Amino acid sequence: MRRLIGVVRSPRETLAAAVSRPRSLDLAVLIVLISAACSVCFLTTRVGQLAALDRQVRQLESVGTVVNEQLYAEMRQWQRYWPAVTACGILVGWPAGWALMAALIHAIGKRRRVEPAGTSASFAQVFSVIVHASSVLAVRSVVALPLNYLNESIGGNTSVSVLLPGLGSSSFVARLLGTLDLFVLWWFVLVALGLGMLYRVRAFPIVRWLVGAYATGAAALALTQAMRGGV
C-alpha cells in the first residue's frame, strides 16, 4: 500500500526504487484485488446490473447489431455471471497483459540496444515498472465506483470528456474524448517515466508513442461509432 500511494504522491522516487529493486508480486496482487473488488461491488447492485446491461446494448448497437427482445432477454439471463466474469478478467487478464507488455518492451530494448554500454535492463525491471505504474488503475477503480453508481453508468465517468461537458455526445470529437480515459493516459505517462529511468532515455518519445497508439485506436473506435450513429 505504501508503494501504491507512493506512485501517486511521488512517482519519480517510487519508480526509481522499482527499477533499482524490482519487486512487484505483492503490489500486483493488491492492485488486482482492489480493482476486482470495486467492479464486483458495483455489478452486484441493481444500479450496476442495469448500467452493465445498458452498456452492452449500446456496444452491440454501435457495431450494427439489432438488439431484439429475444437477444435482450438472453443478455439479462447472463447478468448473474457478470461479476464473476469481470473479476476473472481482472485477476487473470491484467497480470497476463502486464507480462505480455513487459516481454514486448524487453525484447524491443534488447533488439534495438537502447541501453547505454555496460547496462542491461532485465524483464523483472520492466515488469516492475509496468506494475508500479498500474497503481493508478487501482485508484481509478476506487474513484469510478461512486461515480458509476451516482451516474448509473459504466465507462465515461473518468474520461477526458468529463472535462469538457459542453461538447454533447454525438459528435466525433465528443466520442473520441469519451473513449480516452484520464487514468489510462496517466498510466502511460508513468510507464514512460519508469522506462526512461530504466533505459536512460528521454521519457517524452516513449509517452508520444504509447499515447499515439492509444489515441489511434480510440479514434478508430470513435469514427466507427460516429458512422454507425449517422446511419
Written as one string, the DSSP assignment of 45-111 is SHHHHHHHHHHHHHHHHHTT----HHHHHHHHHGGGGHHHHHHHIIIIIHHHHHHHHHHHHHHHHHH
pLDDT digits (tens, 9 = 90+) for 2-29: 999 999 999 999 999 999 999 899 999 9
Count Cα neighbours of 78 within 13 Å in the Cβ-side half-sphere.
Answer: 12
114 pLDDT higher than 90:
no
Once rounded to an integer, what is the mean pLDDT over residues 75-103?
92
DSSP state of 163: G
- Cell readout for 43 is 455489478
State pTM to two decimals. Answer: 0.85
pLDDT digits (tens, 9 = 90+) for 182-212: 999 999 999 999 999 998 888 888 888 888 8
3/17 Cα distance (integer angstroms):
10
Burial code (b: 16+ CB inside 10 Å, e: under 16) for 136-149 equals: bbbbbbebbbeebb
169 pLDDT higher than 80:
no
pLDDT at 230: 47
pLDDT at 172: 65
Q: With bands split at pLDDT 50, 70 and 90, how would you rate the model's confidence at 231?
A: very low
92 pLDDT higher than 60:
yes
CA distances from 164 to 19, 159, 160 (A): 37, 10, 7
102 pLDDT higher than 50:
yes
Once rounded to an integer, what is the mean pLDDT over residues 139-159?
89
144 pLDDT higher than 80:
yes
CA distances from 131 to 19, 87, 217, 221 (A): 11, 18, 23, 27
Once rounded to an integer, what is the mean pLDDT over residues 213-223?
79
pLDDT at 119: 57
- Residue 181 main-chain phi, psi, to 5 deg: -95, 135
